[in-house]
Every structure is written in structure tokens, then in C-alpha cells.
Structure 1
Amino acid sequence: MSTLAATVESIQSNDGLNIVTFALGEQALSMVSLELDEALSVGSKCLLGVNASSVAIGKNLSGMLSYSNQLSARITAIESGELLARIVLDISGNRLESLITLASCKRLGLKRGDEVTALIKGTELSVSRVLA
């Protein structure tokens, strides 16, 4: 699981459903959650968790997507196995990992140094820890 250091920008709540927007450097992230840590409030610094298998990679994207989190990233490493590839990304100084099929990695022509878009559904983020 990757962790991202972020700051809470806003919290919207309605009927037990919460949408929290975070600042990750100059970029924004949104999380959809049924439960929130009581210590979480606007301005809180926290660590967000996301599984590598929940991070998709886009390259040369154009058009609109329903993913609420579309983060500009740079590939810092690629570890290829027989079937899967682990893509290590730098996003605003945070390390994020993506686990995709080796076939997808080859189809996209991914290589170290590429600028890509990390795609994460808002339901796939979680607050690992509230720092302050």
C-alpha cells in the first residue's frame, strides 16, 4: 500500500456519506467514505492509503474521464515480472505504486522518466493516519 501526505481542503457530508478533498502539493484528491476519523477536519494533515492494484496509469490522455483523481506523475522505476509490472511514480514528492499487467505496460510503452497520469477512484482512497 502506498501512502500519500496530504492536507484536508474540504469535507462534504450528507446522509452518512462523506466526500473529502485533499491537497497533494499543487494537485487535488477526492475521497468518498462512509466513516471519517473524528480528528479529521479542514486543515488536517494526514496520510492517505491506496493499494497499488487500485492505481491505473494513463499516457497521453485526452478527453474526459469519470475518475475523480487524475494526478500528474513521473515514472521513477519499473519492475517487470512474468505477468505484472510494478510502476513507481513520483507525485509532488510522494511515492505512489501502481500494479498493472505487463501487457499493459508494454502497450503503453512505459519507461522511466515518462510523464503519465495516475488514475484513482475516490472510493479506493482511505485515511491511514491523521497527523495534525
Structure 2
Amino acid sequence: MKGLRVAMVILASLHLAWSGLIALVASFADGGSVPERLLLSAVHPLAAILLLYVVVSSERLSPLIWRTTVAILSVGIVGDILVAVLIGQGTLRGDWPLPLTFTVVPAIGLVYIIGRRRGRQPTDG
């Protein structure tokens, strides 16, 4: 189980760095709508910070922090999938696989923290 936690810390740290970089780029980009920019510059970094906090926290999380983290991660995942679908339909411009890259680590993190909350941390294979 310790190996899984270390892997999650690494993934969450990389996701935080990637989200921070993309948030900076989104702040200065000319294209994109307000919801797209909000997703990139607010939801992703906040979700990455909360995920890293939950992963490195060794104490039992308060229900408020746990629910907030699950909600923000879920909003980010659904938002990215929605943006990918809209790009695929031609409603928005861009490459449809790009938003899906933002769903990988939050989805893994969501499974990890839900498993941790239930007291059955996923085991290392």
C-alpha cells in the first residue's frame, strides 16, 4: 500500500505542475470561451491542490474536505469530457484528445481517495 501512495504522490505532483502551467497559458491565451478558461485556470489547479493534499495527508480527512475534493475532481472530469465531446462535434475548436489528458490523474485519484475513505485502500499488485 505504501508503493501505491508514493505513486499517487508522484502523479498528483506532476498533475499539479501540469495544471499550473496550463493555467498560466490559459490566462494569457487569446482564444477560448469563459467556461473553457475557468476550467483551465481555476478548476484544474484547485483540483490538483486538493488531490495532492488528500494524498499526502496521513490523518483522517474531515467530511467537508473529502466532499469538496470529490466534488471538484468530479466537476473537472465531467467538464473535460464535455469539452472533448464539444470539440469532437465541431462546436468548439481544438484537439479533442487534449481535454481527456486532464481526466486521467483525477480519475485515478478519485478511485484512490474513495477507496481510502471506505477504509479499504487499494492494494499494490
TM-score of the two chains, using structure 1 as the length reference: 0.22
TM-score of the two chains, using structure 2 as the length reference: 0.23
Greater fraction helix: 2
Greater fraction strand: 1
